[in-house]
Structure 1
Amino acid sequence: MATQLSNSLAHLDVTTTLHPYTDARAHERQGPVIVDRGKGIYIYDDAGKEYIEGLAGLWSVAVGFDEPRLVKVAAEQMAKLPYYHTFSHKAHEPSIRLAEKIVEMTPAPLTRVFFTNSGSEANDSVVKMVWFMNNALGRPKKKKFLARNKAYHGITVAAGSLTGLPNNHTDFDLPAIPVRHLTCPHHYRFAGPGETEADFAARLIAEAESVILEEGPDTIAAFIGEPLMAAGGVMPPPTGYWQGIEALCRKYDILLIADEVICGFGRLGTTFGCQHYGFTPDIMVVSKQITSSYMPLAAVVFTEAVYNAIADNTARIGTFGHGFTASGHPVATAVGLENLKIIEERDLVGNAARVGRVFQARLAELAGHPLVGDVRGAGLIAGVELVADKKTRRSFAAAGKAGARAFAAAQQHGLVVRAIGDVVALCPPLIITEEQVEDLVTRLRSALDDTARQANEN
């Protein structure tokens, strides 16, 4: 700590900046790891130490940390047209071409694109679009959303309300919109004794229908969900869950929204998570891997039916009174288009499927570790849950302490992970190789061994 805080950059950081998702007082004491550069799946701190970036930044870097094609495209677009807006009948080629590409890649019913700068902004936009649409259709009561406990949909006021994590609500006065949070669809933690995956899925679908009928179908606007829940602890849904939810949405005229901010563009070994789990949304939200996070960008992709209802209302009012200064930013959309070309040309979706099988298999070998209760995931995303008692699945009395220790130990071994309570989350760049997977798992195993030793010493 003393070495870090003697560094002038570290000192400036702790005396000037409030960091997201950080205990500010703890940060004042320990200071930051200053990341200096990146190469492939690796990052390097300002002392030159190498780390495997096991979370792809924030679940988001597909093509690695030094892709020259994205740098070149960004520089060329910056020189040609560094900024222009898309308000009031203005457009530019990068945003037009990227919208066309997104429509080409997404499931057939999704034909329209609205650009934002982040997934949070995109999900906030979805809420407003759905309300705007239902008012236009003469359904002013159809405004409520269904989401899930432990869901993550962002941190702005509406998106943060959809999120189902306590720390995103506490002292922020959220939820601030009408939303009902349903049971988290995670069999390991929330199934009853002896309840099979099929029985668990059936119970959750019955619960969702009960809530719909309790609230009144004419008041429920949409159901929103991540195909695989990521930031809540990497939780794949039980088999049959999404088919049951989609059937309910069709039965009760409820829009189905797939939050693909993390799953989208190859993470699960399919282009989109909804394809992996076999359902078709009315609205899809994408971000993160759309540009490999080289530039901030997100998009809402939606059906012609949703578009027509909104468009007709803009004709009545005279405008669509929503948008952002940087909506469809020319540099961001140029980078996004090139990034998606790279994903396709290098078959990174296929790589996520092929290398993902090795990734999941090697991580599954950690199930025998004394701290590991569950290993789960799909493609190139995984969660390793640490428990106090493997047989009973009992969590640690001090929730999050083991996860924090594993996070710190991994960092010592040159591996960046995410600790979500006592779940160690992994989500490496889509370019990772089988050899690099072996190295990643070796480093993680060493970190878990260190964590177990610390627990025994205490």
Structure 2
Amino acid sequence: MTIVPNSIEARDIAYQLHPNVNLRKYEKTGGLVIESGDGIYVTDTSGKRYIEGMAGLWSVALGFGEKRLAEVAKAQMEKLPYYHTFSYKTHGPSIDLAEMLIKMAPVPMSKVHFTSSGSEANDLACKMVWYRSNALGLKDKKKIIGRVKGYHGVTIASASITGLPRNHESFDLPLDRMIHTSCPSYVHFGLEGESETEFTARILKDLEDLILKEGPETIAAFWGEPVMGAGGVLTPPAGYWEGVQEILNKYDILLVADEVICGFGRTGKMFACETFNIKPDVLVVSKQISSSYMPLSAIIVNDRFYQPIADESNRIGVFGHGFTASGHPVATAVGLENLKIIQERDLVGNAARLEEKFLGGLAKLAEHPLAHSSRGVGLIGALEMKPWEGAAAGDAAAALSAACEEEGLICRNVAEALCFCPPLIITAEQIDDMFACVARALDKVAAARA
């Protein structure tokens, strides 16, 4: 990219500190500046149009340019642009959305607390797990189990629960209360000659052995994404979630299901907990709750979780937590309308109906000589690349991602996987277009290596 002085790209380099990049490299290359969006497409400042194969950051369920959300935001801005939920005060949109979330939850739930991002929501859930243990007089029951390759955010607590080295290195993380168990990805961690059933049994044993080693009386909660997103779209093997829940119930350990990516239709069910028969104590949601048109997230908790916390707040006089933007009226109004549209247009059903075509398209791409395998569920999936001999880890997927962008498709490379998570509004024809871009990109990368 040629950086023109005083252009928007040059000003970006001059003034913005970007997340998830090599900052020195960014100073030299700059980034792609997106100017507009429509449906599943976005357009950059040069006028080039792309299929947004990642729905932004796994999140824009309704695609770009949904006028109903803009109209609701404008109306709420004019009526009540801001109010809080502190100190015995609240407002209509947060009440309405909380009621809707309780009614649509995959298992019986009790209360909703709003935050602004998935990281904040997981951080709050962590604090509340500790608060609850203190309320029950379990002063030592504070450890939290995350998983290798799990992702739960970038705050100090949520990054500590995360099991990705890039979110720990040089940040002095993870905190010492956070421990990690095996990643349930058979394609990455299955042993030679080991069946998927044997793999599942082994990693479940790893979990129970970890609990016994640390002491069940010291472990408060287990965190898990039903499908691991930022780790590379890692789908669980058969029997995994049933086995995890049996172990957690045996040792009285809470289950926190992180549905920040999976929630609101991504797996072909309203919640991935339904897809995998997960019964959490805490459900963490964000992203598709508002299609990311407004920053919004929530934790949804059951009565087993809530009641000790309420008792403790009564004992000490206050639940001493809150964010300025918790339950922001514009964000919750947009979230409410977004979920209504998902239901009205049967976008959960759309994901279920298109699953076979989507996964079939990925499987076809996996037949390419550069590819290794594919995986996914609903409308979230990944194409695993074969590592290049003598190259750095992840180079193959990075090259394919760059080639896809040249072909007019934005997706995301994670290790050797190319990840896809298109808007839920995508059509069968658009899936064909998306994977045609990938096929051309694969051939382009292969030709460059020939």
Shift of residue 382, structure 1, vs aligned partner: 0.7
Deviations 1:378-432 (A, max 9, x none): 111111111137xxxxx76411222221111111100000011221111000000
1:392 corresponding residue in structure 2: none
1:217 maps to 2:216: yes
With normalisation by structure 2, the TM-score equals 0.98
1:429 corresponding residue in structure 2: 423
Q: What is the letter of the counterpart of residue 226 of structure 1?
A: E
Q: What is the letter of the counterpart of residue 440 of structure 1?
A: M
Shift of residue 455, structure 1, vs aligned partner: 2.6
The correspondence of residues 100-119 of structure 1 with structure 2, limited to 5 A, is 100-119=99-118
Shift of residue 180, structure 1, vs aligned partner: 1.4
SS class of match (2:18): coil
1:405 corresponding residue in structure 2: 399
1:71 corresponding residue in structure 2: 70
1:197 corresponding residue in structure 2: 196
1:388 corresponding residue in structure 2: 387
Q: Which runs of 5+ in 1 are unaligned?
A: 390-394
> In structure 1, how many angstroms separate the alpha carbons of the residues matched to 2:395 and 2:106?
42
1:420 maps to 2:414: yes
Q: What is the letter of the counterpart of residue 405 of structure 2?
A: Q
Shift of residue 454, structure 1, vs aligned partner: 2.3
Say whether the 8 Å CA contact 1:5–1:31 is kept in structure 2.
no
2:187 corresponding residue in structure 1: 188
Say whether the 8 Å CA contact 2:387–2:394 is kept in structure 1.
no
Shift of residue 221, structure 1, vs aligned partner: 0.3
Deviations 1:314-367 (A, max 9, x none): 111111111100000000000000000000000000001111221111111012
2:80 corresponding residue in structure 1: 81
1:8 corresponding residue in structure 2: 7
Q: What is the letter of the counterpart of residue 162 of structure 2?
A: T
SS class of match (2:94): helix
Percent same amino acid at aligned positions? Answer: 54
1:325 corresponding residue in structure 2: 324
The correspondence of residues 90-109 of structure 1 with structure 2, limited to 5 A, is 90-109=89-108
The correspondence of residues 55-70 of structure 1 with structure 2, limited to 5 A, is 55-70=54-69
The correspondence of residues 24-423 of structure 1 with structure 2, limited to 5 A, is 24-388=23-387, 397-423=391-417
Q: What is the letter of the counterpart of residue 187 of structure 2?
A: Y
SS class of match (2:260): coil
Deviations 1:238-281 (A, max 9, x none): 00000000011111100011000000000010111111111211
Q: Note closer, same or farther for the CA distance 1:373–1:7 as it changes in structure 2 (3 Å cut).
A: farther
> In structure 2, how many angstroms separate the alpha carbons of the residues matched to 1:203 and 1:61?
37
> In structure 2, how many angstroms separate the alpha carbons of the residues matched to 1:455 and 1:167?
29
Say whether the 8 Å CA contact 1:109–1:282 is kept in structure 2.
no
SS class of match (1:51): strand
Show structure 1 runs of 4+ deviating over 3 A: 4-7
> In structure 1, how many angstroms separate the alpha carbons of the residues matched to 2:438 and 2:302?
43
Say whether the 8 Å CA contact 2:9–2:33 is kept in structure 1.
yes
Give the alignment partner of residue 450 of structure 1, picking from 441, 444, 447.
444
> In structure 2, how many angstroms separate the alpha carbons of the residues matched to 1:74 and 1:388?
46
SS class of match (1:110): coil
> In structure 1, how many angstroms separate the alpha carbons of the residues matched to 2:61 and 2:185?
26
Say whether the 8 Å CA contact 1:286–1:298 is kept in structure 2.
yes
Q: What is the letter of the counterpart of residue 285 of structure 2?
A: V
SS class of match (1:305): helix
Shift of residue 7, structure 1, vs aligned partner: 5.8
Q: What is the letter of the counterpart of residue 344 of structure 1?
A: Q
Say whether the 8 Å CA contact 2:366–2:384 is kept in structure 1.
no
Shift of residue 109, structure 1, vs aligned partner: 2.2
Say whether the 8 Å CA contact 1:399–1:422 is kept in structure 2.
yes
- How many residue pairs get aligned? The number is 450
SS class of match (1:301): strand
Q: Which runs of 5+ in 2 are unaligned?
A: none
Shift of residue 450, structure 1, vs aligned partner: 1.3
With normalisation by structure 1, the TM-score equals 0.97
Deviations 1:125-181 (A, max 9, x none): 011000000001000000001111000000000000000001000000000241211
SS class of match (2:381): strand
Say whether the 8 Å CA contact 2:387–2:395 is kept in structure 1.
no
Say whether the 8 Å CA contact 2:387–2:416 is kept in structure 1.
no
Q: What is the letter of the counterpart of residue 141 of structure 1?
A: D
SS class of match (1:115): strand
Q: Note closer, same or farther for the CA distance 1:346–1:207 as it changes in structure 2 (3 Å cut).
A: same
Q: What is the letter of the counterpart of residue 297 of structure 2?
A: A
Shift of residue 306, structure 1, vs aligned partner: 1.1
SS class of match (2:31): coil
SS class of match (1:232): coil
SS class of match (2:123): helix
SS class of match (1:384): strand
Shift of residue 295, structure 1, vs aligned partner: 0.2
Q: Note closer, same or farther for the CA distance 1:166–1:339 as it changes in structure 2 (3 Å cut).
A: same
Deviations 1:65-118 (A, max 9, x none): 010000000000000000011000011000000000001111232221011100
Say whether the 8 Å CA contact 1:373–1:385 is kept in structure 2.
yes
Say whether the 8 Å CA contact 1:387–1:396 is kept in structure 2.
no
SS class of match (1:146): strand
Q: What is the letter of the counterpart of residue 253 of structure 1?
A: D
SS class of match (2:110): strand
Say whether the 8 Å CA contact 2:266–2:379 is kept in structure 1.
yes
Q: What is the letter of the counterpart of residue 381 of structure 1?
A: I
Q: What is the letter of the counterpart of residue 21 of structure 1?
A: N
Say whether the 8 Å CA contact 1:158–1:177 is kept in structure 2.
no
SS class of match (2:374): strand
Greater shift in the superposed pair: 41-50 or 22-31 = 22-31
Say whether the 8 Å CA contact 2:362–2:382 is kept in structure 1.
no
Q: What is the letter of the counterpart of residue 446 of structure 1?
A: R
> In structure 1, how many angstroms separate the alpha carbons of the residues matched to 2:201 and 2:373?
23
> In structure 1, how many angstroms separate the alpha carbons of the residues matched to 2:272 and 2:213?
30
> In structure 1, how many angstroms separate the alpha carbons of the residues matched to 2:223 and 2:124?
13
Say whether the 8 Å CA contact 1:5–1:30 is kept in structure 2.
no
